[in-house]
Amino acid sequence: MARLLIIGCGGVAQVAISKCCQNSDVFEEIMIASRTVSKCEAMKEKLQGTTKTVIKTAQIDADDVDALTKLIKDYAPDAVLNVALPYQDLTIMDACLAAGVDYIDTANYEPEDTDDPQWRAIYEKRCKDLGFSAYFDYSWQWAYEDKFKNAGLTALLGTGFDPGVTSVFAAYAKKHYFDEIHTIDILDCNGGDHGYPFATNFNPEINLREVSAPGSYMENGKWVEIPAMSIKREYDFDGVGKKDMYLLHHEEIEALGRNMPEVKRIRFFMTFGQSYLTHMNCLENVGMLSTTPINFNGQEIVPIQFLKALLPDPASLGPRTVGKTNIGCIFTGIKDGKERSIYIYNVCDHQECYKEVGSQAISYTTGVPAMIGAMMVVTGQWKNPGVFTTDEFDPDPYMEALNKWGLPWQVVENPVLVD
């Protein structure tokens, strides 16, 4: 039925590729393209005897718009699924526009070089105007709205779990459970144990930049920024137990705040153990989280990229990670004139994910929604000209697909609220 070009072949991409191959009725053919084509070939060899989906591979530099455009035009897919690095969102969007093809990704744009003067000037103005200082935000991709609309193309942004599924949960709650939503608390709990003293469950470069940044939340339509890790709460998660969680800045707050302006407060919390925080603080204190290049023995290196090379590859954590994740949203508001609160969440088992696709649950919970988002676009269920996040479409077919493709969810009335 559809051909999908998948750019990237890391841990999340490998899950998305595997799930596309399980869904051969929709994805008749895929092409896996990455800078390291040997990884693409390894995935093809692993999967091609187990699926009806035809698998092709290609080498591509996702920073090269001309090369991307040529690849897209030559392959002529129905859509491009970007599961490469967030640094490459804009070049892939440019190529999709040039080639006339729909675009899907899992995380919003952020720059690789945060010292670039042109980017820095725009960033500092945004910090002043909006009041939050995270390096990643949707403004760069929302700026493509008219280009995609005029081209008659769809760009679906952020179809991972958070962002992605959590925003679909919000749309679903608004459609089926509330007349007014007053607060949204997004809770991301990883109760898994990989046995290493320190490792990250997804790209270390992105993960460590995200969690070391100042936290922020939206209240009454305005940003409130706080020092990193300064708001801590404990919550008892189904399937995991009691965990400490910390308020972070996260991209779906920005999108939900724009698209659901009636919501009075939106917050995001993520769980961390003390060992993780101690290691991260030490690395930050000695400059290893810096994105500013330094000269070492005559060679220019970026400290956080060097650290990434030293840490375990997140894609290698699957066989040794045990435990579960619990990710979802707590909503409060009004229904039929009465106060109401619900909790929509998914529990995912690391070892069950590994048995199915050879991945730990963090990659699984991002890769499955990536496939589902691509399916929504190529089947026409989510298809409008312009640039959209996942809360802007009918949530029902996406929610049904979550249950079908490995991320079943549940709704609990009157949950314990986060103060």
Which pLDDT tens digits describe the chain residue by residue (419 residues)? 899 999 999 999 999 999 999 999 999 999 999 999 999 999 999 999 999 999 999 999 999 999 999 999 999 999 999 999 999 999 999 999 999 999 999 999 998 888 889 999 999 999 999 999 998 899 999 999 999 999 999 999 999 999 999 999 999 999 999 999 999 999 999 998 888 888 887 677 777 777 788 999 999 999 999 999 999 999 999 999 999 999 999 999 999 999 999 999 999 999 988 888 888 889 889 998 888 899 999 999 989 889 888 888 887 888 888 999 999 999 999 999 999 999 999 999 999 999 999 999 999 999 999 999 999 999 999 999 999 999 999 999 999 999 999 999 999 999 999 99
Q: Is 165-357 a domain of CATH 3.30.360.10?
A: yes
Q: What is this structure's pTM?
A: 0.94
* 122 vs 276: CA distance, rounded Å: 33
For residue 163, the model assigns a pLDDT of 96
Choose among 194, 273, 198: nearest CA to 229.
273
Q: Which residues lie closer than 8 Å to 409 by C-beta, 6 or more apart?
A: 169, 328, 344, 345, 346, 399, 402, 403
Q: Which residues lie closer than 8 Å to 94 by C-beta, 6 or more apart?
A: 65, 68, 69
CATH fit for domain 2-157, picks 2.170.190.11, 3.30.1490.190, 3.40.50.720, 1.10.287.610 = 3.40.50.720
Q: CB burial class (10 A; 0-12, 13-18, 19+) of residue 220?
A: exposed
Q: How many CB atoms lie within 10 A of CB 246?
A: 18
Per residue, the 3-state secondary structure of 363-400, as one string, reads HHHHHHHHHHHHHHHHCCCCCCCEEEEHHHCCCHHHHH
User: Percent helix, strand, coil in the chain (nearest 5)?
Assistant: 40, 30, 35
**Token digits of residue 186:** 């997004």
Choose among 181, 160, 165: nearest CA to 395.
165
Q: In angstroms, what CA-CA distances link 157 with 10, 53, 139, 140, 153?
A: 19, 25, 12, 12, 13
3-state secondary structure of 91: helix
Q: Residue 72 belongs to what H/E stretch? A: helix 65-75
The sign of the dihedral angle between the CA atoms of 350, 211, 271, 107 is negative
Rg (CA), the chain: 20
DSSP 322: B
Q: In angstroms, what CA-CA distances link 289 with 147, 253, 292, 308?
A: 35, 24, 9, 10
For residue 314, the model assigns a pLDDT of 80
Instruction: Give Cα 409 distance to the centre of its chain.
Output: 18
Contact 103, 92 (CB under 8 A): yes
Q: Residue 249 belongs to what H/E stretch? A: none
For residue 281, the model assigns a pLDDT of 85
Buried b (16+ CB within 10 A) or exposed e, 356-388: ebbbbbbbbbbbbbbbbbbbbbbeeebbebbbb
Contact 222, 230 (CB under 8 A): no
**Token digits of residue 353:** 């994910």
Region(s) of the chain under CATH 3.40.50.720: 2-157
* 359 vs 365: CA distance, rounded Å: 10
* 393 vs 413: CA distance, rounded Å: 24
Region(s) of the chain under CATH 3.30.360.10: 165-357
* 381 vs 279: CA distance, rounded Å: 44
**Token digits of residue 344:** 């929509």
Choose among 82, 170, 169, 138: nearest CA to 387.
138
Choose among 185, 187, 170: nearest CA to 237.
187
Q: Phi, psi at residue 33, to the nearest 5°?
A: -125, 135
* 202 vs 10: CA distance, rounded Å: 9
